Structure 1
Amino acid sequence: MAATTHKASLKAPAQPTRKGQLIPRVKMTLKGHEERVNDVAFILGTRLLVSGSEDKSLRVWDLDTGKQVGEPLLGHDARVWRIATSPNGSWIVSGANNGSILVWEIATNKTESELKRVPVSFKGHGSVVESVVFAPDNETFASASRDGTVCVWKRETGEIVFGPLKVGSRAYSVAYSPDGTKLAAGTDEHIIIWNLKTGKELLKLEQRAWRVAFTPDGLRLVSGNYKDIRISDAITGDIIKQFDAHTDEPFLSLVVAPNGTKFATTSYDKTTRFFDLATFEPIGEPLEHPDSVQGLAFSKDNQLIATGCQDKIVRTWTVPLSETELQESTEKVLKKTIISQQPYPRRAPIQTSRFFDGFDPHSSSGRNNRAATTTRNTDGFKNTMNRLFSRSSTSHDHAPPRRSIPLVDVFATRGKHRTANRHTGERDKKLQQQRPPRQQAHATASSSSAPPVGTSNVIGGAILHAGSTSAASRPPSPLERVPDISCFAAFTRCFPCLSRTRKASPSASSSG
């Protein structure tokens, strides 16, 4: 009979509850199976979902369009009971109620999606295959059967690489640890864990489990019996939490979310329920179905959950958030809000260097290497000008260098010449000599490059006496510190042009 395909019907968006939680709503309704849907699985790395039914077929669904992809996958001669997909999204394994197992290869691209059966016979079970699951290595998978055995198969060859393990009662479920080193089985009487490297039995718990699953950290086991759920320590087997999950028995299916924050269960009470793995409290409202829910699967991104129902319909639902996820979501929103409300940081003012910044008149490098002094962050030029216009003999910001006491020639009064101590301002009577009138002194200075006999000049802190060639070749520095003199005398000392102006003045000549 030709398969009928229907586009998914979209429902209203989820509505918030009193706690701020969203009530999950049906996102897509996928119709096409002719009998009860027993199991569903997301094909990782794709936007595809596969389902298995009692109509002996598997069907692949496009989650973007809600349409069936290609023709139904036919190969089983009995009802398809359980299906699983590989972690790399390349393989599907299906088990039927007659004990047969088939593996399907997935070839997907942008234009088409095809699945084909691998021509390998996986024969070993004599009754219903209650559970199948791929190992993390994608090369092996495990199965559990009502015949009381558990097997691990090589996908390529169909060879049994571990088992058949006789568990003494019906085997209902198998699960790999996240690292693939352990295998757990839930039976009608026990939960058993084996080490796959050594083949040794690690743990055997006296409790019935129709479904069993490891948490993503591998530290806990979540199992389900008739109505109750148990969370156990995966190392010691100690029960951490036990509670009733559903109102009607028997319990049918159980899956743990990939992010490890929650798990979901189904039952004959026609609901799918969510529970927080941190608080063990119910999350949101149950997902109501018109009939019992057989199959269950989480998407890799934890956003969707798919259910296969007795009414022949596959549904996808939005997943409610756990308390941990709500807290993380709130913290992210608050963090973004705080960041958006913070003002932009104020930039520091741009520092510009000036030509006279760092100029030190007492440093020989300052006088001889102007480029070097411009990098010093001082007010040398301002301090120099302050000293020139100040009558104080000492600088407040620079201590005078320790050296021999220099002498300075000063035109203190008209027609008289004084030689003063540079630091104390006292006359040195030994060096005091009569000096020719001011006009004559300037004339002599202009006609000869050598200073008068008996006088001395200070250049760079050294005393240069008359007759010295270095004194003749180097005029006094305009930035020399000249204490205890008048402002006009300081200017005539620093700027010789003022002296020449006064020399040219008639009043100055007549008074001389």
Structure 2
Amino acid sequence: MPKHKFEGHERSIQSFIFLHDNVHIVSGSEDGKIRKWECDTGNFVGVPWKGEGGGINALALSPDGRTIACGRNDGSVQRWDTYGEMIEDIWTGHSSCVRMLSWSPRGGHIASGSFDGTILIRKAESGEVEVGPIETKQGKVYSLAYSPPGDKIASGGSNGTICIWDSNTGKLLVGPIKGLGGWVKSVVWSSDNSKLEIKELDVLLMDNFARVFDSISGTLLHRFEHDHTLESVALPLKNDNILACVGQHGVAKLWNIESHRPLNQPFGPPDYNNHIFCVSFSRDGRYLAYCGGDNKIALWIIGDVVPEIAVSALLIGFH
């Protein structure tokens, strides 16, 4: 069973983030509210943060850990500090909901992907659109992620494609990779922290498989099969040989990307009424959490769900 289930939102939780202190989670919901939680106790902190614009679909934390970007149903983007104060100016430009946000690694830009099929890249301080709108021709932009160096952005669409864009010009570099079936619901980049450079890998999902692609050629390198339709994937900050996959009904599994072997048995009792939207590791690698249509966040301690030998291997990357 999870260590905690954070309960309090009135509608589905679309996105959440771990703060840099490894103590708190901030979540955004279709109820239009943002809530802050303590990982150790499961308790809600303060009062809900309220803003205009309808349901919240996306949250992203700045690299310095001080500012949270928030994407809403009306297509707007807001910014908040981690104590619940909203920065005054609200950015507009999308004609439909903002489904995904990604902050550039150096913190200077925020990319937003919308159900209107476009990507906007803005200056993080002023909100000025610097690149875009990029007309992706991917249907609805459902997933979006900056590469670790910040020079590329990967996007996944509702038409089952993935594209990789030049983040400085908006030029299409790779793709569209087609024929993958279903919505591309989650996209993450892996990086080689020992060399401080990107591996040519890109992980995404559409069905029961998490797929690993070469980000230069678009070549499929490997597939990881899950027990349920996959909804979201995540990599730890300091050890991207570990891949977390969460299926539609809240069943999670951890894989070693290099050996292609599972690190554990699937965990999380299936809830066939639950639809998962987001999974993430805490920065220190201690916690894994996911959220969904049951209006809750399930928080797990990695050491409780991974066999001892796998825990040792996992934690090497966090010291």
Instruction: Tell me the TM-score normalised to structure 2 length.
Output: 0.85
Map 1:347-358 to 2 at 5 A: none
- Are 1:146 and 2:115 matched, yes or no? yes
**1:224 aligned to which of 190, 205, 222:** 205
Contact 1:261–1:325 (Cα < 8 Å) also in 2: no
Structure 2 equivalent of residue 44 of structure 1? 20
1:329–1:199 CA distance, 2 compared to 1 (3 A): closer
Would the aligned equivalents of 1:85 and 1:91 in 2 still touch at CA under 8 Å?
A: yes
In the other structure, the counterpart of 1:96 is 72
Amino acid at match of 1:41: I
Residue 121 (str. 1) matches residue 90 (str. 2): yes
Residues 288 and 127 of structure 1, relative CA distance in 2, 3 Å threshold: same
Question: Which AA in structure 2 matches 1:254?
Answer: V
- Asked if 2 retains the 8 angstrom alpha-carbon contact of 1:35 and 1:53, the reply is yes
* SS of corresponding position for 2:21: coil
Q: 2:278 aligned with 1:295, yes or no?
A: yes
* Aligned with 1:203 (options 174, 178, 181): 174
Q: Distance in 2 between matches of 1:70 and 1:330?
A: 32
Work out which of the residue numbers 234, 252, 272 in structure 2 matches 1:255. 234
Measure how far apart 1:102 and its partner are: 1.2
Q: Counterpart of 1:29?
A: 5
Instruction: Using the TM superposition, give the Cα deviation of residue 46 of structure 1 relative to its aligned residue in structure 2, in angstroms.
Output: 4.8
Q: Which amino acid aligns with 1:294?
A: F
For residue 137 of structure 1, report the CA deviation from its aligned partner: 1.5
Mapping of 1:295-374 within 5 angstroms?
295-319=278-302, 320-321=305-306, 325=310, 328=313
Q: Within 5 A, what are the aligned runs for 1:151-162?
A: 151-162=120-131
1:191 to 162, 181, 184: 162
Structure 1 196/281 Cα, relative in aligned 2: closer, same or farther at 3 Å?
Answer: same
Separation in 1 of the partners of 2:38 and 2:187?
29
Aligned length: 298
Alpha-carbon distance, 1:280 to partner = 2.2
In the aligned structure 2, how far is the partner of 1:268 from the partner of 1:326? 25
Q: How does 1:170-185 map to 2 (within 5 A)?
A: 170-185=140-155
Residue 61 of structure 1: CA displacement? 0.9
Distance 1:286 1:162, change over 3 A: same
Aligned counterpart for 2:58 among listed residues 58, 82, 89: 82
Q: In structure 1, what residue type is equivalent to 2:9?
A: H
Report if aligned partners of 1:41, 1:296 keep a CA contact under 8 Å in 2: no
Contact 1:133 1:175 in 2 (8 A): yes
Preserved contact between residue 132 and residue 170 of structure 2 (Cα < 8 Å): no
Instruction: Give, in angstroms, the shift of residue 53 of structure 1.
Output: 1.1
Partner amino acid for 1:143?
Answer: S
Q: Which residue in the other structure is 1:410 paired with?
A: none
* CA distance in 2: counterparts of 1:285 and 1:115, whole angstroms: 38
State how far apart, in whole Å, the 2-side matches of 1:195 and 1:329 are. Answer: 32
> In the alignment, residue 90 of structure 1 is paired with which amino acid?
R
Aligned position for 1:271: 251
Is residue 190–residue 205 contact of structure 1 (8 Å, CA) maintained in 2?
A: yes
1:292 alignment partner AA: H
**How far did residue 148 of structure 1 move?**
0.7
Moved more, 51-60 or 76-85: 76-85
The answer to which structure, 1 or 2, has the higher relative contact order (CA under 8 A, 6+ apart) is 2
**Greater Cα radius of gyration, structure 1 or 2:** 1
**Partner deviation per Cα, 1:93-132 (whole Å, 9 max, x = no partner):** 11122212211122xxxxxxx2211111211111122211
Greater fraction strand: 2
Q: Contact 2:188/2:204 (CA < 8 Å) preserved in 1?
A: yes
Instruction: Give per-residue Cα distances to partners, 1:53-98, cap 9 Å, x unaligned.
Output: 1111010112233322221010033111121211211011111222
Report the counterpart of residue 225 of structure 2 in structure 1: 244
Aligned with 1:67 (options 43, 59, 77): 43
Relative distance call for 1:162 and 1:325 in structure 2 (3 A) is farther
Q: Distance in 1 between matches of 2:313 and 2:4?
A: 28
In 2, Cα distance between the equivalents of 1:102 and 1:123?
Answer: 9
- CA deviations on 1:163-184 (whole Å, 9 max, x unpaired) are 1100112211111111111111
**1:222-261 Cα deviation digits (max 9, x unpaired):** 01012222101112211110243233x4x32222222102
Structure-1-length-normalised TM-score: 0.55
**Runs of 4 or more consecutive aligned structure 1 residues displaced over 6 Å after TM superposition:** none
Counterpart of 1:134? Answer: 103
Are the equivalent residues in 1 in contact too, given 2:66–2:81 (CA < 8 A)? yes
Which amino acid in structure 2 is aligned with residue 148 of structure 1?
Answer: G
**Relative to structure 1, is the Cα distance of residues 100 and 182 closer, same or farther in structure 2, using a 3 angstrom cutoff?**
same
SS at match of 1:78: coil
Amino acid paired to 1:225 = M
Gaps of at least 5 residues in structure 1 are: 1-24, 107-113, 332-512
